[in-house]
Structure 1
């Protein structure tokens, strides 16, 4: 796939199967396919999830942060693969730590470094930051499988 970086939502959707309301990347800032990525998510204050998490102190749920990191790492792992129709499914999250809250209006920086990649499995060390504050870290594992379209 011929994608130039930085890139936006249109190119993200060329690589990932996710669509609204479950695309958790706004842009890819830089990417070395198969190696590393830096992406960003503009945390929209109008997201409906903030009405329930939590009404008096809205914060982006940790599971959404982990999903955003997985989307960034999956983009990095899949962007240069010739075999279209391959999806990355969570196989595990190790050593997850949540250090700072992500608030409505924040720009969340998503970084991933692919530490292992084969035709069936990808392992990535991931980190989410707002400014210079680390919000979450983990080692994530994804199994690669062909979509059943």
Structure 2
């Protein structure tokens, strides 16, 4: 095992902004903790009532759209993959979603943890298993892949 996979690191919002092109309202992670190279990491999303999706999903009963939780998983994995190759001069492209399941609703006030574990890496493509958890309970899960390409 190399040093990058054995060290535990954190990526705050400034680091995330330096590697991902996403910006508000489509940046769906606030920080990443427990990063172990591109092998494992936990993305954090603090869900707040003033986010634009809650105006229509659903008025009077705001629920975090499942597709945005999948995107939060993808962004977490993207930061991990980009950081593992130096984070500059590359773009990350979301490629596949498999085995997606939504278990419980997520509402404003919840703190989502995106637990991302690398399944495989083939050339410039990373494959991850993601589990979204709130208060330790599984709320969504999926397998995702993404490709890194030159900017």
Settle same-fold status: TM greater than 0.5.
Answer: yes
Does the CA-based 8 Å contact 2:95-2:147 persist in structure 1?
yes
Q: Which residue of 2 aligns with 1:121?
A: 125
Unaligned runs of 5+ in 1: none
Q: Which residue of 1 aligns with 2:12?
A: 8
Unaligned runs of 5+ in 2: 1-7
Alignment of 1:11-90 (within 5 A): 11-82=15-86, 84-90=88-94
Distance 1:103 1:83, change over 3 A: closer
Q: Which residue of 1 aligns with 2:5?
A: none
Q: Which range is displaced more, 82-91 or 97-106?
A: 82-91
Does the CA-based 8 Å contact 1:36-1:112 persist in structure 2?
yes
89, 112, 118: which one aligns with 2:116: 112
Aligned-residue offset at 1:33: 1.2
Question: What is the CA–CA distance in structure 1 between the aligned matches of 2:47 and 2:86, rounded to whole Å?
Answer: 32
RMSD, aligned CA:
1.5
Does the CA-based 8 Å contact 1:77-1:114 persist in structure 2?
no
Aligned-residue offset at 1:83: 6.3
Q: Which residue of 1 aligns with 2:104?
A: 100
